[in-house]
């Protein structure tokens, strides 16, 4: 593989919120929009955060980077576990992000916390998984690109067998997932 490769990504965002009078007034239009990509199976329904007159049933721009950071981290963890011979049978992350809104109406993301819970088949490998999460964080292109901190707080659970003793090392039983 060459030392560097460049990848391009394209998304089309289409505003679908014209309620008949366009943006004639702040309250006269919906924030609804869709993001699509060539060859993708479905659009991503978007809106603004409900605090800014958005539809809570649609994804806000602030939620999408949280999801992108979570999925980037997960895909790296799965890849690195496969390379290390660690069998992951389940993975879920309840990621959380925070945005600060300033007095002038501007805002910025200030932090994201990833909280992955995963099941592995061999609990003796759990200490290695912590290092894999650190490595995944170091190589995820999104975590490397943002200017706010991204922390990860993984919990590793055993998939069947005898439960290990409870420790502060975030090891638990499969039924805890």
Q: CATH number of the domain at 72, please.
A: 3.30.300.20
Would you place residue 159 in the very low, low, confident or very high pLDDT band (cuts 50, 70, 90)?
A: confident
DSSP for 39-61 reads T-SS-EEE---GGGT--TTSB-T
**86 in the same domain as 53:** no
User: What does pLDDT average to over the chain?
Assistant: 90
Q: Is residue 133 located within the same domain as residue 154?
A: yes
pLDDT tens across 134-155, in order?
A: 999 999 999 999 999 999 999 9
Residues 52 and 69 in one domain: no
What does 90-133 look like in DSSP terms, one character per residue?
A: EEEE--EEEEEE-TTS-EEEEEEEE-EEEEES-GGGHHHHHHHH
State how many domains the chain has: 2
Domain region containing 169:
63-176
User: How would residue 20 be classed by pLDDT, with cut points 50, 70 and 90?
Assistant: very high
Q: How far is CA 70 from the centre of its chain?
A: 2
Q: What is residue 13's three-state secondary structure?
A: strand
Asked whether residue 130 falls in the same domain as residue 151, the answer is yes
Residue 129: exposure state from Cβ atoms within 10 A (0-12, 13-18, ≥19): buried
- Joined together, the tokens standing for residue 32 give 């609804």
Is the pTM above the cut of 0.95? no
Q: Are residues 45 and 67 in the same domain?
A: no
- Domain end call among 22, 39, 59: 59
């Amino acid at each position: 593989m060459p030392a560097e490769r460049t990848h391009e990504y394209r998304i089309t965002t289409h505003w679908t919120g014209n309620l008949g009078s366009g943006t004639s007034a702040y309250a006269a239009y919906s924030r609804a929009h869709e993001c699509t990509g060539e060859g993708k199976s479905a659009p991503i329904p978007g809106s603004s955060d409900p605090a800014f007159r958005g539809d809570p049933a649609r994804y806000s721009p602030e939620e999408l980077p949280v999801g992108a950071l979570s999925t980037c981290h997960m895909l790296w963890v799965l890849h690195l576990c496969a390379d290390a011979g660690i069998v992951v049978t389940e993975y879920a992350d309840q990621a959380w992000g925070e945005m600060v809104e300033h007095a002038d109406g501007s805002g910025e993301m200030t932090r994201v916390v990833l909280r992955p819970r995963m099941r592995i088949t061999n609990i003796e490998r759990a200490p290695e998984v912590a290092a894999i999460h650190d490595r995944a964080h170091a190589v995820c292109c999104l975590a490397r690109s943002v200017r706010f901190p991204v922390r990860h707080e993984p919990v590793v659970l055993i998939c069947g067998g005898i439960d290990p003793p409870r420790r502060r090392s975030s090891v638990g039983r499969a039924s805890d997932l």
